[in-house]
Chain A
Amino acid sequence: MLGFNSIQAHIFYLAQEATAATDATGGADFYTFANQLLNGVGIVGVLLLTGLGLAITFGVMRIINLAHGEFIMLGAYVTFLMQSLFQMDLLLTIPFAFLGTALIGALTELTVIRRLYGRPLETLLATWGLSIVIQGVVKLIFSAQLKYVKSPPYISGNLSVITGQDGTPLVSISYYRMFIIAVALLMLGITLYLLYQTPLGRQVRAVAQNREMAKCLGVNTSLIDLLTFAYGCGLAGIAGAVISSLKSVSPPMGQDYLVDAWMVVVTGGVDKLIGVLAGSFLIGEANAAIAFMLNDPVARVIVLAAVIVLIRYRPEGLFTVQKRA
């Protein structure tokens, strides 16, 4: 009758998503727990990648980007396209995913975000509208069917951390998880370098700290905004490219990551980028640990509740130095 029945409730359990291919036949609780913690590390990588772009746009431009998930989805689709058209390796598609989403992000900034400056709630609405539009357009082009992306063969399999006497791995982590973390940390490093070691980064930080003053000192703030937003979207694209082979690629896939990415950003705070790392680490590991003790859904509820309490008492995030007003 009416379309809400067709709106699927996208439920996303972080801990489930990280299925390390280990069988916990070791029996001992310690091994299960260790496995769970390593799974948590895998989640941290995903959270870090998805949260990073968001933290940059939120930190510098103070806009709430609800279309971030869709940029992740776009990145995944770029990877899918490259793979199906040119049989490209997943690693090689990453730059294309970055450039493609950054370009779309720049277009978005020019046409939509720029008009809504200083009105965070309006931006929030507009980006939500945008996310619906992007999803709709992608659905029109690629249809709603699930697409699958091949992960490169040389990063498959598991690394066994603790091996039992008969040679079965008791505690292990998949190489692909480690690859995700490596990419996430690399992107964090590159971003930190760009922000703190280049003249452009200095301008970006100036705009983040005091927009008016930066403008007075001759910084082209609108150009900085454009670049920042494009870069943030590009990071989302990289996240999408890397995540694409974990699950299937579909138009609503980005929604799964949106709420969690936001939780990471508000937990860590955007003052220092390292907060995003800390935030994703906290959320990922807390999720894994609670999921071990209770179960996945309860873990998610508890973590979300904890984040709500955290926002209430420290809206600026855990790792932010108190600013003078």
Chain B
Amino acid sequence: MTQVLDGVQRSTVPVKLFITAGIVFLIFFILPFLVGVFQTALISKLLLFGALAISLDLVWGFTGILSFAHGVFFTLGGYAMAYYLKLNLAAANNNYGGELPDFMVWNGLEQLPWFIAPLKFLPIAILAMVLVPAAFAYIIGWFIFRSKVSGVYITIITLAISSALTTLFISQQAYTGGTNGITDVAILSLAGIDITDINLYWVILIFTTLVLAGSWWLTKSNLGLILRSINENERRISYLGYDVASFKIFIWTLSAAIAGIAGGLFVPLNRFISPVYLAVAFGTQVVIWVAIGGRGTLVGPLIAALLLGQVQNSAERVTQDWQLIVGVLLLVVVLFLPKGLMGLVPERIGFNKLLESPTPNPSAGYVRAGLLDWFTPLQGALRSMQGWFSKDRDR
């Protein structure tokens, strides 16, 4: 009898997980009514940082690519949104003559640059918010993953990218607003109705939930299996006939797109974006969330971002040396808790148990593989396009 029950339980979806997740979601959903306005804004912000951390966890925790450039993708998405809001504000009350944002006027720009002008329209801005970081990531990924460059060097490259872009954005003051970034943006409004903070909170909550659920589904799929095997033994998985670089590029681009959306949602909330979020310091902050939360756990980085943000918020009132605590925590985690704080949760009651998917149904694999095949023609087309430019790329 137990065996039968066991079998039934195994063949179904992880019910426990869904119930737990549902309860947590509901708690978060009604949270704005329980906490104040300030906390609502703070939690929205932390949820976005959590989504950013999850996106890094996809490439680092699962695929083993440590990136300091996720702040860059986040900020690129943020700038797309900021331009949209700024341009609409400028159109509404044109203090500075015409539709030009103030910082462009101050820097002597007379016309809206052609590459910023289309961002005035929301659909284009939303597209740019996803596509600009994704395209940038795709180019970088295509450039570095199809080479013999490995682990540590990739990290150094991401450091250099972050450093270079920070310099670039600060120096192009007329286009980016320089060190101040884009401030005083309009309130996001859809069809003439202003989006309030609480609505924004729900949008962000749903977005983060979708990111978490999607990432979980992705890592449980065959694709996730391949990604994890790349992390563990890249050479072996390439001997098995998988094109490792394609998988890396795919997950890298996807993760950048998630980061970009998070950045885009961040701007209406934060009301400004600046090169601070491009800098290496913010990129490292994301890495720290993932490291402390636990690599490859998805939930861990989200919880770490939420908790550390809250602790920081209260600690900063008392002491200026909050960063010191983070540093010590990071050292302790790296030295003694390779799985992060999620490794502390006992196995018996832990998320690990909840996350345990039932024994996979052999036929289910085909369904998932089918979705993966969906991407394959795209990859194939792209690869043949690459073939136009380089002759000897036979593998």
B-contacting residues of A (Cβ < 8 Å)?
1-5, 7-11, 13, 64, 112, 115-116, 120-122, 124-126, 128-133, 135-137, 139-140, 144, 255, 259, 262-263, 266, 295-298, 300-301, 304-305, 307-308, 311-313, 315
Given A2-B45, A126-B331, A313-B147, verify A132-B326 contact (CB < 8 Å). yes
CA distance A13 to B167 in the complex (A): 9
Contacts of A2 in B (CB 8 A): 42, 45, 309, 312-313
**Other contacts beyond A144-B320, A304-B163, A311-B157: 7, CB < 8 A:** A2-B45, A7-B282, A64-B156, A125-B66, A126-B335, A259-B163, A304-B167
Contacts of A255 in B (CB 8 A): 280-281
CA distance A7 to B148 in the complex (A): 35
Tell me if B334 counts as interface (CB < 8 A to partner A).
yes
Chain B 314-328, CB-CB to A under 8 Å as 1, else 0, gives 001000111110111
Pick the residue among B66, B179, B316 that contacts A3 (CB under 8 A).
B316
Kindly list the 9 A-B residue pairs having the minimum CB-CB distance in the complex, ordered from nearest: A136-B324, A132-B327, A297-B171, A129-B330, A304-B164, A133-B327, A129-B331, A9-B279, A7-B281
- Which of B143, B167, B277 has most chain A Cβ within 10 Å? B167
CA distance A135 to B281 in the complex (A): 13
CB distance from B159 to the nearest CB of A (A): 6
Pick the residue among B41, B279, B316, B330 that contacts A125 (CB under 8 A).
B330
Stretch at the interface among B107-115, B211-219, B283-291: B283-291
Contacts of A301 in B (CB 8 A): 164-165, 167-168, 171
Tell me if B166 counts as interface (CB < 8 A to partner A).
yes
Q: Which of B148-169 contact A (CB under 8 A)?
A: 148-153, 155-157, 159-161, 163-168
Contacts of B284 in A (CB 8 A): 128
CB distance from B295 to the nearest CB of A (A): 10
Using a Cβ–Cβ cut-off of 8 Å, how many residues does chain B contribute to the interface with A? Answer: 60
Pick the residue among A129, A131, A259 that contacts B160 (CB under 8 A).
A259
Which residue of the partner chain A has the closest CB to B49? A2
Tell me if B276 counts as interface (CB < 8 A to partner A).
yes
Q: Is the CB of A262 within 8 A of B323?
A: no
CA distance A173 to B109 in the complex (A): 38
Tell me if B275 counts as interface (CB < 8 A to partner A).
yes
CA distance A179 to B279 in the complex (A): 33
CB distance from A115 to the nearest CB of B (A): 6
Tell me if B54 counts as interface (CB < 8 A to partner A).
no
Contacts of A10 in B (CB 8 A): 279, 281
Given A3-B312, A3-B316, A308-B157, verify A136-B278 contact (CB < 8 Å). no
Contacts of B324 in A (CB 8 A): 132-133, 135-137, 139-140
- Which of A4, A130, A301 has most chain B Cβ within 10 Å? A4
CA distance A7 to B155 in the complex (A): 21
Contacts of B312 in A (CB 8 A): 2-3
Q: Is the CB of A125 within 8 A of B168?
A: no
Contacts of A315 in B (CB 8 A): 147-150, 153
- Which of B64, B66, B285 has most chain A Cβ within 10 Å? B66
Tell me if B91 counts as interface (CB < 8 A to partner A).
no
CA distance A137 to B338 in the complex (A): 25
Given A4-B276, A132-B330, A136-B327, verify A311-B156 contact (CB < 8 Å). yes
CA distance A308 to B148 in the complex (A): 14
CB distance from A185 to the nearest CB of B (A): 26
Tell me if B237 counts as interface (CB < 8 A to partner A).
no
Q: Can you list 12 A-B contacts with CB-CB less than 8 angstroms, sorted by A residue number?
A: A1-B42, A4-B282, A7-B285, A9-B279, A116-B335, A121-B66, A126-B335, A136-B324, A296-B171, A307-B160, A308-B157, A313-B147
Which residue of the partner chain A has the closest CB to B324? A136
Contacts of A308 in B (CB 8 A): 157, 160-161, 164
Tell me if B226 counts as interface (CB < 8 A to partner A).
no
Q: Is the CB of B166 within 8 A of A9?
A: yes
Given A3-B322, A9-B166, verify A125-B287 contact (CB < 8 Å). yes
Q: Is the CB of A300 within 8 A of B164?
A: yes
Tell me if B122 counts as interface (CB < 8 A to partner A).
no
- Which of B148, B155, B164, B179 has most chain A Cβ within 10 Å? B164
CA distance A34 to B157 in the complex (A): 32
CB distance from A125 to the nearest CB of B (A): 5
Contacts of B147 in A (CB 8 A): 312-313, 315
Q: Is the CB of A122 within 8 A of B334?
A: yes
Which residue of the partner chain A has the closest CB to B171? A297
Given A1-B42, A132-B327, verify A116-B159 contact (CB < 8 Å). no
- Which of A8, A133, A140 has most chain B Cβ within 10 Å? A133
Contacts of A259 in B (CB 8 A): 159-160, 163, 280
Which residue of the partner chain A has the closest CB to B170? A11
Tell me if B144 counts as interface (CB < 8 A to partner A).
yes
CA distance A2 to B42 in the complex (A): 8
Q: Is the CB of B45 within 8 A of A5?
A: no
